[in-house]
Structure 1
Amino acid sequence: MLQVIRVVVAFLTVMFVMVAFDGTAQALEPVSVNGDVDAIDLLPAVESYSSQGDRIQIQTAPGADGIVRRIEVRSKEAGASPNWIVFALANTTDEQIDRIVVAPHFRLVGSGLVWPDLGASRIAEITPSQGFQPEREDDDDADVFRITLDPGSRITFVAELRTANLPQLYLWNPDSYKDKVNSLTLYKGIVLGIAGLLALFLTIAFVVKGTAMFPAAAALAWAVLAYLAIDFGFLHKFLAITGDGDRVWRAGAEAVFSATLLVFLFAYLNLNRWHVRYSVVSGLWLLGLAALVGLAVINAPVAAGVARISIATLAVVGLLIIFFLAFHGYDRAVMLIPTWTLLLGWVVAAGLTITGHLTNDLVQPALTGGLVLVVMLIGFTVMQHAFAGSAFAPGLMTDTERKALALTGSGDVVWDWDVPADRIYVSPEADQLLGVSPGALDGPASGWLELVHMFDRDRFRTALDAVIDQRRGRVSQDFRIRASDGHYMWLNLKARPVVGSDGEVVRCVGTISDITEQKTAEERLLHDAVRDNLTGLPNRELFTDRLEAALVFARQDPGLRPTVLVLDLDRYKQVNDAVGHSVGDSILLTVARRMSRLLKPRDSVCRIFGDQFGVILLSEPDSERAAAFAETIRRSLRTPVAVADREIFLTASIGVATHDPQSPSKAGDLIKDAEIAMYNAKKAGGDRIEIFHPSMRIERPDRSSLEADLRRAMERDELKVLFQPVVHLQDRTIAGFEALVRWEHPKLGRLPPAEFTAMAEETGLIVDVGLFVLDRTARQLAIWQRLVEVEPPLFALVNVSSRQLLRQDLIQDIKAVLARAGIERGSLKLEISEGLVMENPEYAAQILAQLHDLGVGLTMDGFGTGYSSLSYLQRFPFDMLKIDQSFVKQNGRGRPVILRSIIALARDLGMEVIADGADTDADADDLSHIGCEFARGAAFGDPVTAEEARRLIAGPIRLRA
């Protein structure tokens, strides 16, 4: 019974295999073989099979008698399930033919990028349908089987595969295949020899001169040599590689090649000197490639795929860095452009090859030769730089030579005083610096004293005399010296005495450097620290300091009674909005000049902040005469200010506080008393004078209470951010919103920014308020962008104050806001006025560049109202100009011309333009006709809440003017 079951199972198995393969083997056609063709590509004639067991049954090609037979082939290992291929050959000649079947282990063509085929033994065994079993021949690079075809025979061959992939299968004439192998061996030997000599030469160069670029180039050459040894099969001559070992070595070699290429680029370009991020990125990249070498042992295809992607990325990114540094005048980058361009071409050709777009058999040896050529050009580039930079200069630099080179590099002037002969010598650079004739500065020390500024002569003479008398020490002296055109330059002298054998000073030798720019910067910083930038008047700090000094004198002199006047212009904000910032600044300058003309030498006037001024009155000790002086100021300010073809009328509220010897107070308290009186004058309607009396403190002035309330406003959620639409003029659709902050005061109702921003700016609360507005605006912008996807995305404009721009934490604050919101790059636009930028141009340029790199849009606010907009427009990375409303509202003939000029200038600089103050349909139409892109104003709606703005953009995104 057991025997019967076995027979039935065997029969069913045979029938299942026959059914499974019956339909795929019917069209097997033999390949005609004759003696005229050296090589035949068998892949088009191959039929592939996969079986579920260790045997396969196939139908043979029709024999010479026309009969189709069926054969069964077993795998070499019982129980295996290999892949199979079947092909048939027909000898159409009258002679016996010997041929060899060749299946290469590795073929670069079509090997793949992400999960590459790194090669392996392809064919385990070939079984013919008749005749002798094909003989396997020894070959480290391919599976080679010799077959014999009798005259007129038709033989079907079944090949058992070791891998699922068979990249190539050729039938070769043995003599032709031998000639091909010999030719390739000769070519490989030549290429390998050149690569070896190049690696050895660069190694010797590294030993001779150990600069960083030589070991990097030598390591790259050795990596290429190792890769070629693996690719050419020479590694098998020295190492017993079996199984998948060849794939591991090949993947590791590609990872090492990518790593050495990265090291060479970093070392040659000396990237660590340009920015620390280059070092960080390169270090992380190198660690990743080092990990690939270990990964090659576990999963060679994955490691090779990542290494190939790394090589391609490095070639592209490297070329971009090279072009960037070459554009900035870096000689090393300029010299590397041709070589790296050739490397990129090699990478492109290799990419086309591994993806199967280049299939010629000559591509693989050509790429290996091209790789050696690239390394050879890299070696030539390194040598060229070495010779150009005197890298092989014999001998070591002496300490004297090094100091001489350092002095030359510093640009300082040599100063040498021969003390016994009383003769000073300076290098020719000093004559050029001062613009005098050559040798004019050489002579006795007294001649130098005549050129030194009269206020610095005594210090200069004393410093030299002290060194000579004490016979030790060092001179470090700043002094001014007169140039040929009469102006003075600041110089710094650093010198030390040289003592002779008799113990006396024989020389005083040192250097002179030009520090004029440094001194000018210090004077500017000192001036800006105590002076107002616009009016040149003392600021609040200097004003307080002078008042403290006056109070000290008043305590010593009972007849001296300092009086403080605090003046605030009425409705200045409305005037400034109506006529523009430029005219507003002119008004403040006029007010400053009028007040200065009324003061006597003992009095002082300052600009406290904004449109608020202060006066220290010492020339009028009587309170009644001080009040009369305040009335004089009030009447003087009532005189109209003529601007262009219009007159502007001003009034002021003035508070007066006089020092009381019976109850002495500090300067800050006296100023606060005058402010309290001024606010009382404003509450009474303005354009009046109020004398302070202690009962006013009980009323708690508006400023003090507002300051206290503002500190708690954000905690109580009293600050609200409104959004005014910004419209695209071409189709009247919403392009974005401008954020405007309002204070919902529990007692005073909604307060506009004019009521509290100046106070917030002075007290520093504007930083917290500005950050609050930025965060709320960014969050709302993210909601809008998720709600409506338009191109370009909706944007939001947020004004930035001087306190925010000039503080060091602004960049970190912006990073945090962007990270929390997740908005589109460039859609959050910061509005920055030109006057704000010009307070500190150098620092502002750095901050704006960092903000631009973060992906923040930058808008120049109030363009056209300043004095230096055009000169600084290209220097700062603004991407949008906001035209001041004064240009939009004026109706003169010059408006279209000015607006067209501004818009044309912005377009030439690649900037967008938004016009402020489009309050009518006519304004919008005019702006649209002259090419303005965006506009904001009453014509498109008043500021709305975030929810109302959301409803606006949720429907059809369209506003009607």
Structure 2
Amino acid sequence: MVVCALVLAAAGIAPAHALEPVSVPVETLALDLSNAIEYRRESTETIQVSTAPGPDGIVRRIEVRSRGTEANPTWVVFHLANNTDQQLDRLIVAPHFRLAGSGLLWPDLGASRIAAITPSQGFAPERQPSQDADVFLVTLDPGSVVTFVAELRTRDLPQVTLWQPNAYKDSVNAYTLYRGIVLGIAGLLALFLTILFVVKGSMMFPATAALAWAVLAYLCIDFGFWNKVFHVEAGADQLYRAGSEVMIAVTLVIFLYAYLNLNRWHVRYSHVVLMTLLALSALFGVAVYDPSIAAGIARMVLAGLGVLGFVLIIAMSLRGYDRAIMLIPTWLLFIAWLAGTGLTLSGELVNDLVQPALAGGLVLLVLLLGFTVMQHAFAGGSIADGLINDAERRALALTGAGDIIWDWDVTRDRIYTSAEAEESLGFKRGALEGPARDWLEVLHPQDRDRFKATLDAVVEVRRGRLAQTFRLRAKDGHYQWFRLRARPILGNDGEVIRCVGTLLDVTDAKTAQERLLHDAVHDNLTGLPNRELFLDRLSAAMTRAQADAAARPAVFLIDIDRFRQVNESLGLSVGDSILLTVARRLGRLLKPLDSLARLEGDHFAIILVSEQTPERVAAFADAVRRAIRAAIAFGEREIFLTASIGIAMYDREQREPDDIVKNAEVAVAFAKRLGGDRIETFRPSLRIAAGDALTLEADLRKALERDEMKVYYQPIVRIEDRSVAGFEALLRWDHPKRGRIPPTDFIPAAERSGLIVQLGLFVLERAAKQLDAWHQSLPGGDKLFMSVNVSSRQLLRHDLINDVKAVLARASLPKGALKLELTESLVMENPEFATQVLARLKELGAGLALDDFGTGFSSLAYLQRLPVDTLKIDQSFLKGNGRNRLVILKSIITLAHDLGMDVVAEGAETDAEAAELAGFGADYAQGYLYGQAMTADDVKKMMEKAQKARA
């Protein structure tokens, strides 16, 4: 570089001006003609040029014919003047490749520039042999002005220089020396890194060595060394130059990935690097098609790697990653090299020193990367150099595994363990050392014989391995699980002299395994057996029953009624607490031979073996029912539950446990259909009833569409004068095949299927519409009211308020004329929610009646908060004899009047019952005494007849 700089400085390349003859001084070593040339592009193979005026002032015209293969070649014209009295020999030099100004996108990768030069006078210039440039020797006579016409092989001529022959030779020699030094350093560096990879085996070395070889390949092409080794046409190395630039980009990506160990940070880094390498590998194919495109993309990738790599290195350095920290200085130098290269490619730096300086800088970068890699790789000490023997490697592996060493000296009968074993068990150091028989004292009693037999077998057969899991008693009395793996070592006489292996504490794994096994067959909430374990125990009970006829099992299935409402109103956590309470209550009823399980949700099952007689089984079922019905205290409130219980007895005909369970499920379903809170024993006729129930539900879905549902009206009379005060709307179903189906059959089916909401809305709309018609048509009809029953599903729906509001708006009924009847038990399921809903209904103008009062477990505190205006006394208080019944009946009526409520008594069938109600002050009565449920036409006839009678 120093020699080259001196030659170039001494040459003092001076710029020349275009279109004027360039005077060639004798002393100037080199003259830049790049700005003194004129481009000509002709459409023919010939060009006519006017020469520069000579000393005589005459301008001549010359014609030059193309010698190349181009149909329309590009020409350049320049003029040289020898104003001296000496003959001058000069070299016209046009370099094949020039990095300065070659461009970033579609760069100029070099080529032979000049095909031929024709002078206006004298002999044609002679082409001089050169691999790096087009060199022509010209002779200028004293006092002559010569015009030169050069035929180009390319469209542009990046640089053309006029050199003194000796100066050009010195410049070439200086560059050759510099290039040789750089190539030598790059070659030695690549070879050294390759050797280190073979010795060390670290992934960083092949990545760095690949980068060094890629740089060496690029320098060989750039310096022309490649052309000297292989026969390549002058200026035809574009493909090799583009390929080497792509290879530098590829190896730099691999180096970053390997050195920074990106796969340890995130798997996505590996995916990104793999996709980048695939894309860059495709550039080799692009280089065959168009080397300029491939080289341009490679240069842009290198610029992007400089920026992205710097961001990545800084980010990892901030996280304390030592490899990234060590790479920061070299990468800053790489960014500076990229900046200088960018200025050179864009033409900002055009000095002839730039290109060789950048080549040397590239080698310096690889050298620094190699030093960084070696510094990091050899910083780990003696263990990191990989020169360890097999015994050391095994010792290191055992240390890394963290296992406890177990060594039994058979000859001396002494066991040795690492200190970790005593520490884990809470013993003092050396407590587990001693004869093998001393180990029997700390072993679990169930593991002692197996452990002793295994040791004796290994010593006797003199081969094999010890692989055993056992329990050792800790100092606090608890047992911990250990796994022993050892092998015998034989002496010169073939006898076992010792057994050596490792102990591993597997208590956590054993505990987790036992927990998984327990959870697989037990319920997570209650800890009771689940369905799989229940069926397994039932199968065992059936097997015992086949051998002993006196041990016949009975299966109880328990389904808590309306438990979903508990979850919806109180929350799932309260529901779980209730299930735990039920499980504990049922568990206290069992004897050791019996079994309790939770099948799913609120379904429990019992295998009863301790009781065999029908009377005792029935008594047990009743005890189960009472246990569930007992109040459950929750905070300041009490929760009351009921359950449907199905019982199935083993009768030796069932072959599988599922058969008994299915029979019990049929019994439970039948108990549910009858309203719940019942005990039903399976009998074959229930299967037929179950099938009928499914058919009934299917027919019920079509009943509304077929207009099979009818609304009937039962009179409610004033007890004082027996005049009709209102009606209760009752739903009847006239089935086309089965005739009239009673409500006790189809209402439970509607509740199960969810159709009760549609039926309730149907009755509400028909009743309101009919009442509106009676108000307008019947004499005295404007004082009538209509009662409509509301189911639990309707009350829990938020749409009930909107439904009632719409019905009242369409019917235009006076306030309180439409009464909604809700059962006492329905309201008390969720009194807080019911109170809010009833208050909204009251605001809309609906009347409210509390049906079946006295049959549930109501709270008087809630009764005074409910906005009801009518109490309906259940008919059970009108039947039977006894003073207590009359006292209760009178108390209910008095309580209702004190709270400002009307009283309606249901089930009045005799005059005596009517007189009794009148004596106690009841307001209204309803029953067969005053009329059964009738159609709207019958109501009209009855009202007209009553009007005539009064008249």
Is the TM value for this pair above 0.5? yes
State whether structure 2 residue 529 is matched by structure 1 residue 559. no
CA contact (8 A) 1:681 1:687 kept: yes
Q: What does residue 595 of structure 1 align with?
A: 586
**Larger radius of gyration between Structure 1 and Structure 2:** 2
**How far apart are 1:228 and its partner, in Å?**
1.0
Deviates more, 1:553-562 or 1:149-158: 149-158
**How far apart are 1:664 and its partner, in Å?**
3.1
Task: Give the aligned length.
Answer: 687
Q: What does residue 649 of structure 2 align with?
A: 659
The TM-score with structure 2 as length reference comes to 0.60
**How far apart are 1:330 and its partner, in Å?**
8.8
Give 2:669's aligned amino acid: Y
State whether structure 2 residue 152 is matched by structure 1 residue 161. yes
**How far apart are 1:120 and its partner, in Å?**
0.6
Relative to structure 1, the CA distance from residue 92 to residue 496 in structure 2 (aligned partners, 3 Å threshold; closer, same or farther) is same
State whether structure 2 residue 97 is matched by structure 1 residue 106. yes
Taking only aligned residues, the RMSD between alpha carbons, in angstroms, comes to 5.1
SS at match of 1:456: helix
Distance 1:247 1:750 in 2: 85
**How far apart are 1:282 and its partner, in Å?**
7.9
Q: What does residue 183 of structure 2 align with?
A: 192
Distance 1:49 1:686 in 2: 109
CA contact (8 A) 2:337 2:361 kept: yes
Q: What does residue 368 of structure 1 align with?
A: 359
Distance 2:121 2:86 in 1: 17
**Residues 741-774 of structure 1: per-residue CA shift (max 9 Å, x gap):** xxxxxx999999xxxxxxxxxxxxxxxxxxxxxx
Give 2:662's aligned amino acid: K
Q: Which residue of 474, 490, 511 maps to 1:520?
A: 511
Q: What does residue 121 of structure 1 align with?
A: 112
Q: What does residue 526 of structure 2 align with?
A: 535
Q: What does residue 247 of structure 1 align with?
A: 238
Give 1:677's aligned amino acid: A
State whether structure 2 residue 402 is matched by structure 1 residue 411. yes
Q: What does residue 696 of structure 1 align with?
A: 686
Distance 2:692 2:112 in 1: 91
**Residues 661-717 of structure 1: per-residue CA shift (max 9 Å, x gap):** 2523421111222223333344444444443222333355799999xxxxxxxxxxx
Relative to structure 1, the CA distance from residue 87 to residue 658 in structure 2 (aligned partners, 3 Å threshold; closer, same or farther) is same
CA contact (8 A) 2:557 2:606 kept: yes
CA contact (8 A) 1:630 1:654 kept: no
CA contact (8 A) 1:54 1:77 kept: no
The TM-score with structure 1 as length reference comes to 0.59
**How far apart are 1:393 and its partner, in Å?**
9.1
**Residues 767-805 of structure 1: per-residue CA shift (max 9 Å, x gap):** xxxxxxxxxxxxxxxxxxxxxxxxxxxxxxxxxxxxxxx
**How far apart are 1:57 and its partner, in Å?**
4.2
1:14-413 to 2 correspondence within 5 Å?
29-30=19-20, 48-57=39-48, 72-77=63-68, 80-86=71-77, 102-112=93-103, 115-127=106-118, 136-145=127-136, 158-169=149-160, 181=172, 183-206=174-197, 214=205, 217-243=208-234, 245-257=236-248, 296=287, 299-301=290-292, 304=295, 354=345, 362-388=353-379, 398-413=389-404
Deviates more, 1:175-184 or 1:532-541: 175-184
**How far apart are 1:545 and its partner, in Å?**
0.8
SS at match of 1:198: helix
Relative to structure 1, the CA distance from residue 578 to residue 99 in structure 2 (aligned partners, 3 Å threshold; closer, same or farther) is farther
1:729-878 to 2 correspondence within 5 Å?
none
CA contact (8 A) 2:413 2:435 kept: yes
**How far apart are 1:275 and its partner, in Å?**
10
Deviates more, 1:281-290 or 1:134-143: 281-290
Relative to structure 1, the CA distance from residue 502 to residue 147 in structure 2 (aligned partners, 3 Å threshold; closer, same or farther) is closer
Distance 1:676 1:187 in 2: 101
Distance 1:591 1:45 in 2: 107
Distance 2:115 2:568 in 1: 90
Relative to structure 1, the CA distance from residue 748 to residue 54 in structure 2 (aligned partners, 3 Å threshold; closer, same or farther) is farther
Distance 2:82 2:571 in 1: 99
SS at match of 2:231: coil
**How far apart are 1:255 and its partner, in Å?**
4.6
Distance 1:58 1:750 in 2: 109
Distance 1:538 1:187 in 2: 88
Distance 2:752 2:91 in 1: 95
Give 1:607's aligned amino acid: R
SS at match of 1:664: coil
**How far apart are 1:350 and its partner, in Å?**
5.1
Unaligned 5+ runs, structure 2: 1-16, 697-748, 755-835, 837-951
**Percent of pairs with identical residues:** 59
SS at match of 2:500: strand
Unaligned 5+ runs, structure 1: 1-26, 707-746, 753-890, 892-961
Deviates more, 1:317-326 or 1:680-689: 317-326
Give 2:666's aligned amino acid: I
CA contact (8 A) 1:95 1:150 kept: yes
Distance 1:650 1:57 in 2: 118
Give 2:658's aligned amino acid: G
SS at match of 2:237: helix
Deviates more, 1:589-598 or 1:356-365: 356-365
Distance 1:348 1:701 in 2: 88
Distance 1:94 1:583 in 2: 119
**How far apart are 1:476 and its partner, in Å?**
1.7
**How far apart are 1:485 and its partner, in Å?**
5.3
**How far apart are 1:141 and its partner, in Å?**
2.1
Distance 1:417 1:255 in 2: 64
Q: What does residue 927 of structure 1 align with?
A: none
SS at match of 2:605: strand
Q: Which residue of 658, 668, 674 maps to 2:664?
A: 674
State whether structure 2 residue 445 is matched by structure 1 residue 454. yes
Distance 1:94 1:306 in 2: 54
CA contact (8 A) 1:676 1:701 kept: no
Give 2:681's aligned amino acid: I
Give 1:595's aligned amino acid: L
Distance 2:414 2:294 in 1: 74
Q: Which residue of 498, 510, 515 maps to 1:507?
A: 498
**Residues 443-466 of structure 1: per-residue CA shift (max 9 Å, x gap):** 233433332233323322332233
SS at match of 2:446: coil
